[in-house]
Amino acid sequence: MSLFDKFKMKSGGGSGGKEPGLQGSGFGSYHHLFPKRQLFVPRCEYPLWDHDWERCGQQRREFRQIKDNGCQRHVTRHIFLVRHGQYREDLGPYDDQQVLTDKGRQQAKKTGQFLAEIVQKNNLSTRVCATRLLSCSNLIRAKETADIIYNEIEYMKLQHNSNKTDEEEKWKPLELFEPDPLLEEGRPCHYIPSTAPVTDELINKIDRDHIRCEEAFRKYIGHSKWLEEHQQITLKPTKEADTDHTTIEREHEYQIIVAHANIIRYMVCRALQLPPEAWLRMSLFNGSVTYLVVHADGTVTLRFLGETSFMGYDLVTYNLYEGFNWDSYEYHETTANEKRMQDEENENDNEERNKKDDVEEK
């Protein structure tokens, strides 16, 4: 049984009585755009907020976590969604061909340094920051990006720990999860506005990909390993706990997920409880960082979307496009051809210059 099915059984339909997802039944089209059965239907009518959107939603409202010292435990989740670095999509359609470019590796290194600095500064300021999870898609471009990011964060932690003698002051190593096919790229749902024709092939693809993308969302965004830790923690009804245990101890958990543009945009829409059909209205550059915060009360804030300013302009790419000033793939191809011709011309000039120097020496 998949996590998605377990979640449906456990939630019992939640406050609205129906799990969010594609409508799944019915005839006709949605405004002549796509089959009505493939329209995403939320559990609560937009723009209402579904407090039971994640696995611990009901527990958050009905209970408080009380630690052995009598304090309430409030956990804030910090989720960083990273798009992989630039890769060689021009070499072929197979995964083993789509490795990171030199620029893609530089992007990943900058992203890793950026995340390492965030983790370091938050660890120093709060002393209750746990960065234990790094997950990634099983496609090679995401795995290579994740490995580089992991190395940068671990290097920062090793530097910190080398100056500490007390084991309690040392930061724990980052836990690198096995690459997960749930995080592969795909078409999570239809997008609006769209001028592209809706083919049978596309309809079938969305039927397949949506289930996987939704399961990935619920696995990585819709549940918290830390909130489900009940060792040395007592659950008390909210009203009783708020009366007897007014002191709050705050903890912060950090999770890094390296994946792909479409599934990241889908996750952002789902986390903010916005129509997922808006996913293509956002653009994510290679190596960019999207930062979601799930607060202790279950509400969600988008701190930033597709952040790349830490890279510097020269490293910014969108697939094979360079920087922000591009219009089409044809523009990229023209620019690339011009660069190749210029390189060849420079090489020929150098050869002629070398020949001339040889003659003069003789």
Q: Which two tokens stand for residue 286?
A: 């290679």
306: left (phi over 0), alpha (psi -120 to 50) or beta: left
Does residue 215 surpass a pLDDT of 90? yes
Contacts (Cβ under 8 Å, ≥6 apart) of 262: 185, 186, 187, 188, 213, 279
More confidently predicted of 182 and 297: 182
pLDDT-derived band of residue 7, with 50, 70 and 90 as boundaries? very low
Report domain extents, the chain.
46-326, 330-362
Instruction: Note the pLDDT tens digit of each residue in 161-202.
Output: 888 877 767 777 777 888 999 999 999 999 999 878 899 999
Instruction: Note the pLDDT tens digit of each residue in 72-89.
Output: 888 888 999 999 999 987
CA angle 193, 195, 198 (to 5 degrees): 105
- Domain with residues 46-326, CATH architecture: 3-Layer(aba) Sandwich (3.40)
Contact indicator for 149, 112 with CB cutoff of 8 Å: yes
H/E element, 270: helix 261-271
Contact indicator for 302, 292 with CB cutoff of 8 Å: yes
More confidently predicted of 27 and 327: 27
Specify which of 155-164, 218-227, 238-247, 266-275 reaches the highest per-range mean pLDDT.
266-275
- Strand 129-136, strand 248-259: pairing: parallel
In a 10 Å sphere around its CB, with 0-12 CB exposed, 13-18 middle and 19+ buried, how is residue 157 labelled? buried
